[in-house]
Amino acid sequence: MGLASSQARLLSLTVRQHTIENRAQYLQAQKLRLSNESDLVYQKYVNALDATKLETRTYDKDGKVHWIDGSFNNLTKYTDDNKANGNVYYVQDINDGLLYQPKKVCDAYNNAGGDLYKFLDNVGVFYIKDVHTPEYINAQEQLNIDIKNGWNKPPYTAYFREQYSLLCSEIQNPPKTDTYRSAESINTIVSNCENSNTADVYLSTNNTQLTEMKGHLKKLKTTPYYTGDNKTIIDYCLNFNVAEIFDNPDNVDSLNVYNYDKKTYIAYSKSNENAKEDASNRQTVDDQFKLSMLLNGGNYKLNNGTEKSIYDEGTQNLLNNFTGLKNATIGDALKTLAENIKDAEDENSSNAVRTQLENLLTTFNTDITTAELAMHNYQLYREHLATFNAQSKETHTEYINKEDGLYYERMFYAIQSAGGCKEISDENAKSATWVGSMIKNAQVVLGVYNENDKDLDTITPSSNTGLREISNDNEIAKADSEYEASLNDINAKETKYQTQLNQLEEERNAIQTEIESLKKIAKENIESTFKTFT
């Protein structure tokens, strides 16, 4: 082959080699793009598997629960289910706070100028304004009956009504007299001395109780109850003197007082008085000890071993008869005495109140039956009048179609509380996924109308029994199909690109071999030519 033709062929092969390498680089880039595309397809598939679907609850005509897509239309529509459960939801834009509404509602609200009734007119709701409440109407009817029967006139004067009510109350709970309170105080003092660990034993708890009790007993001496057994018991208590026991000729140095079969519960030694010789000083024995001896009675032993009782035989018999108890004590007797006096005082006080009531009825020429009926009827009239006055300024709107009327009334106040509304397209309103996607992307929130505050309460699907989020099986099935198809397409393209790369590599290798051959021939021709000249 000539040198010129060899050079031409070499040049042609070099150009072709560059073309092949450029093509190979392009195919490698395409394969890299397919790898990225494969990653995107996989991520989209994973997202589809994690996706949930928003649904709202509804019922069929038989009351069976059904769950339907959480589209805007299904969430905000008014149905029998919504009427029963209040499951009307509002979709609120997070950024501007406005509520999404269909064009019809937006136009009706924007053209109402903040007037509920213009809004109702614009959406086609029929109503009657300023209707009085049922409570007002009922109270008015009751007042008419009251007036017809004359119940509106006070049965008697205000003085009578006041005194009659007071006296009826006092008959049930008679006023307490000073005598009653003295008896009650005695009962309280003795009861506070009761030892819960030993039955029928009275142990004084402080040094003032004896003085207090004697003070109340002295007050009873000035009452009609200071007679008979009461007088004997009162005098015994007031005259009780511990010094008389210590002044015994047999020289009692200590007392161990006990009550028949009860354990020893009072003990006292004269040495506690610092061995004072003066008998009058012995009266200063601690009042707490003296009261315990007085209330419990019992026996004690003289130094010579003789046993004596604090109560003599006559006193003991009186106490037993007075209380109806065996081996009764002054403590038992004082409680009985106090209860008897309290009962008598209550009865006297109640009788005095009854006498006052009878005098009142006589003064007004009536009887209890007539007065009770008149008072009852007048009280009913006052209650009806109070209800009538309270409701007289309260009115409401009566809707021809109550359910539709309340639905749009609440919608008006919901939009007003949000500051207005914005239009949603028909396509988004029908979409089964639009609301759910907007919630996930933090673009909207759901709200329910608060009747008391005339405001919206924000909710989440998980916090409301009328909503739920479930796996979106349709989207998962679709994702499966798309993922499979995308992978097949990517694999086919990758196989195609690899085949082309293999072909280019084979062609490149063949060209490279031929180039090497041409270079060798060219070298040999050059060497042969130069040999000739040399």
318-332 mean pLDDT: 91
Indicate the residue type of 185: S
DSSP state of 135: H
Tell me, what's the pLDDT at 48?
56
Tell me, what's the pLDDT at 261?
47
Quick one: what percent of the chain has pLDDT higher than 70? Answer: 69
The more confidently predicted of residues 455 and 128 is: 455
Element (H, E) at 516: helix 473-533
The number of CA neighbours under 13 Å toward the Cβ of 226 is: 13
518-532 mean pLDDT: 67
Give the angle subtended at the CA of 515 by the CAs of 514 and 518, to the nearest 5°: 85
The more confidently predicted of residues 92 and 285 is: 92
| Least confident window among 68-72, 138-142, 274-278, 437-441 | 274-278
Element (H, E) at 385: helix 368-391
Tell me, what's the pLDDT at 199?
61
Residue spans per domain, the chain: 3-46+477-533, 52-132+396-471, 192-341
Tell me, what's the pLDDT at 264?
44
Q: State yes or no: pLDDT of 218 exceeds 80.
A: yes
The more confidently predicted of residues 333 and 390 is: 333
Q: 152-193, pLDDT tens digit by residue? A: 676 767 788 888 888 888 888 888 899 999 999 999 999 888
The more confidently predicted of residues 532 and 293 is: 293
Tell me, what's the pLDDT at 381?
77
Tell me, what's the pLDDT at 277?
42
Q: State yes or no: pLDDT of 439 exceeds 70.
A: yes
Q: 389-434, pLDDT tens digit by residue? A: 766 666 667 677 767 788 888 899 889 888 899 999 999 999 888 8
Q: 10-32, pLDDT tens digit by residue? A: 677 676 767 777 776 776 777 67
| Those residues with Cβ within 8 angstroms of residue 494's Cβ, 6 or more apart along the chain or in another chain | 31, 34
Calculate the average pLDDT of the chain. 77
pLDDT band (50, 70, 90) for residue 478: low
Q: State yes or no: pLDDT of 272 exceeds 60.
A: no
* Residue 304 phi, psi dihedral angles, 5° rounding: -85, 5
DSSP state of 284: T
Tell me, what's the pLDDT at 5?
63
Tell me, what's the pLDDT at 62?
72
Q: What's the pTM value of the predicted model, to 2 decimals?
A: 0.44
Q: 334-348, pLDDT tens digit by residue? A: 999 999 999 999 899
pLDDT band (50, 70, 90) for residue 137: confident
